[in-house]
A and B are shown apart, each in its own frame.
Chain A
Amino acid sequence: MTESTIAQLTTCYHCGEDCVSTTYKFEEKTFCCQGCESVYRILSENKLCSYYNYNDHPGATRQRIDKRFDYLDEPSIIKELIDYTDNEITTVTLYIPHIHCSSCIWLLEKLNKFNPAVHHCRIDFLKKQLNIKFDNQKLSLKGLVELLYDIGYEPVISLQDVIKKQNGADKDNLVAKIAVAGFCFGNVMLLSFPEYFGLSAYEQSFRHFFGWLNIAFCLPVVFYSGTGYFTSAWQNIRNKVMHIDFPLALGIAVLFGRTVIEILTKSGAGFADTLCGLVFFLLVGKFVQRKTYNHISFERDYRSFFPVAVQVIEGDAEKSVPLANLKVGQRIVIRHSEIIPADAILLKGEALIDFSFVTGESVPVNKTLGEIIYAGGRQTSEAIEMEVVKPVSQSYLTQLWNNEAFTSQQDNRMQTFNEKVSKYFTVVLLVIAFGCLAFWLPTDARRGLAAFTAVLIVACPCALALSTPFTMSAALSIFDRNLFYLKNTAVVEQLARIDTIVFDKTGTITTSGGNNITLNAVLRGHEKQLIYSTCANSNHPLSRMICRYLGSMAKLPVKEYTEMPGKGISAVIGTDNIRLGSGKFVFGHTEEDALSTRVHIMINEEYLGYFTFTQSYRQGLDKVGHLSPPYRLFLVSGDQNHEKKELLNVFEAGQMHFDQSPQQKLGFIQLLQQHRGKVMMVGDGLNDAGALKQSDLGIAVTDNVNNFSPGCDAILDGKSFGKLPAFLQFSKSTVRIIHCSFFISLTYNLIGLSYAVTGSLSPLIAAILMPVSTVTIISFTTIATHMAARRRGLQ
């Protein structure tokens, strides 16, 4: 037995965390905590230890234990959560973020070994969802969720389940439509070949048979697969805007009409082949454009991470109340790691609030009794009691969602290239078509009609309609590989048109967490405790970092505490006199190092040393700084301007705005937009949500895409922050590629038109031209996009 056994002895068998003590042992296995051990016990009692065979340490750490699912007894909440229920069976789909390996699938699909009331479990691994069917007479939803919690898979329960909605929304049978169109396309092609190769006089009887069959195959293509284009074209006419769907619908209608007439009058073979191919390729283009990320939600607002219900104290009893029914004046209990749902006054207990959801700053803040705590903070210490002072929707943070930017549907998004071009395209197309008709009509009416329809057929902007989807989907997959997730393909074009970029500071250009503090002093335990007790009183970021650095210890009572803003703090604890702060504050003269911030320590007039803070900005921030010019860069931060000096390398002094409230951030974006800026907002916390929504393009930066991120147009993984300039350039390249492919498709249209205007378009030429132009466009856009990506250094 070698190293691996030793390693296993010191790490938790269940979750892989280091074991601090050897207290938790069971069946020769060590565990880091009671929670992990109890999960193992449950599994081993049910003979499910194969869980540990598929992967090492598959479990989630369980170092805290507190059940808080009482709200799942509330019928109104249950009704919202479940998919289906009757007298016996209930089905529910739960989102479980911890699903990450094959062991998870193995265990969660064996839930009925724990409780026979569970009939059926199915995991969707990519969506991290568990679909469960259970007997509701023998097991309640609360019991089920507690069972999942007990085995280490706590579901995230939220009433505003956007992921479910997002995935459910696009069920317009597109796949079925493609299947029908493809089926008909294949058959029609087969039946049209004899016509193209020429039929001998002896085989003439087949001609009509094939013709009739072709019409039969065209019917489902036009009236089932192609209906979307007709309804969209009809809306275009009603709204008096020319979208690309209008010429497409016109093309489909003319193709179908001419095919039916030619076959019925036995005057020709018709264009059934071209028609089916056209609809099929168009629908494939639509399908490619519709890329969905199962695990990422772009539509979240505060409700999706606020708790579903909150414990309210009424008399002596606690009762869970759905968040929407929470009233001003009610007393609520917030337990460890719960989120404060509304602005409230702290009444009882020690509050240590982590506002990382809101500001991106992950160091918890100490709050004193009687202070108002804003909604969105997560309590990280013991249970506290609070009195609600504002309803949930009117709180400091959540009232942001009442802003116009959220309530009104935004139509001011930029027009895509396609939308711009198709307006002119349609007009030119109609002019040419009617021109032909007018030219031939006096001499040869038959030829005139032929030319008129042929123009509409040939100029049908199939290739044009395909160029954007295929370029964009290739671009999207490249962004995707570089950890930049876009909401939809239109975002690429918006990205290309940005000229102003606004950054948030904390969590966006700085990394959250990260140990960037060093102690240049030798401190004894008691001295550490003195410093900790002093700093725990301060909300200054540096004090909070010192507290975190020293780790939690017992807080001593502090007397004569004074904080000099921007300088330091002094306090008396027992008989000890403590001074912490800048050199000037501590010993009266300045001797500062420009590159780092120092906090000097003086206890009882004895100088002990100093803490050094180095800023941990995201990698590649300097590259982002080079974006200016041509881009204009701004910084809006909710923090004080402590770091202004360091940020001067990146931003100009006049373009940094500190101490901004969430509303002010939104207002700042509006101001830039009024000056005709195309504004991109890069932020991370809920306090940026308004600005992200108001901006022309909102990007949320996050260190884990499965974690919470506010509603936005794109999500950027923090690791790829430095690639932002490359992304911007690449988006410009893709727009250029779309322009090029537009000209290629125009060339094909012109070739076709030269046949069409004379009225001599044969079905064979149309049948060749359409697929050839389509294939050219698809391959051109795909290859060009990948080449452009490689040139920008993207994978």
Chain B
Amino acid sequence: MNIIYFLIGCSVLLATLFLSAFFWAQRSGQNDDLYTPSVRILLDDEEEPLQK
């Protein structure tokens, strides 16, 4: 049953990882504008003139 200690440690570590990922996203402003990216993705890139 001692494996439980290890498993709980893993689960807490994983959860902390997710939490810090959320913090990073929040701090780098990824949640500031939740609308514009949904439009931006529909805009095509410029077609590069073929080179050669």
Contact = CB atoms under 8 A, between A and B. Distances in A.
Given A125-B33, A126-B35, A126-B36, A186 B23 contact: no
B42 A203 contact: no
Contact of B4 (A106, A109, A176, A206): A206
B26 A213 contact: no
A187 interface: yes
Interface residues of A, number: 25
A125 B36 contact: yes
B12 interface: yes
A434 B35 CA distance: 53
Given A176-B23, A179-B22, A54 B43 contact: yes
B12 A187 contact: yes
Nearest to B22: A179
Contacts of B22: 179
B10 interface: no
A125 B4 contact: no
A680 interface: no
A102 B15 contact: no
B43 A186 contact: no
Contacts of B23: 176, 179
A81 to B, nearest CB: 20
B24 to A, nearest CB: 11
B32 interface: yes
A176 B20 CA distance: 10
A102 B19 contact: no
* Residue from B4, B35, B43 whose CB has the most chain A CB atoms within 10 Å: B43
A700 B45 CA distance: 43
A123 B36 contact: yes
Given A102-B42, A105-B43, A175-B31, A203 B1 contact: yes
Contacts of B18: 183
B15 A125 contact: no
Contacts of A127: 33
B52 to A, nearest CB: 21
Contacts of A50: 44, 46
Contacts of B43: 54, 102, 105-106
Contacts of B39: 102, 105, 125
A175 B26 CA distance: 8
Contacts of B46: 50
Given A105-B43, A179-B19, A187-B12, A209 B5 contact: yes
A385 B20 CA distance: 61
B1 A125 contact: no
A124 interface: yes
A616 B40 CA distance: 42
Contacts of B1: 203
Contacts of B44: 50
6 contacts: A124-B32, A124-B36, A125-B35, A179-B19, A183-B19, A187-B12
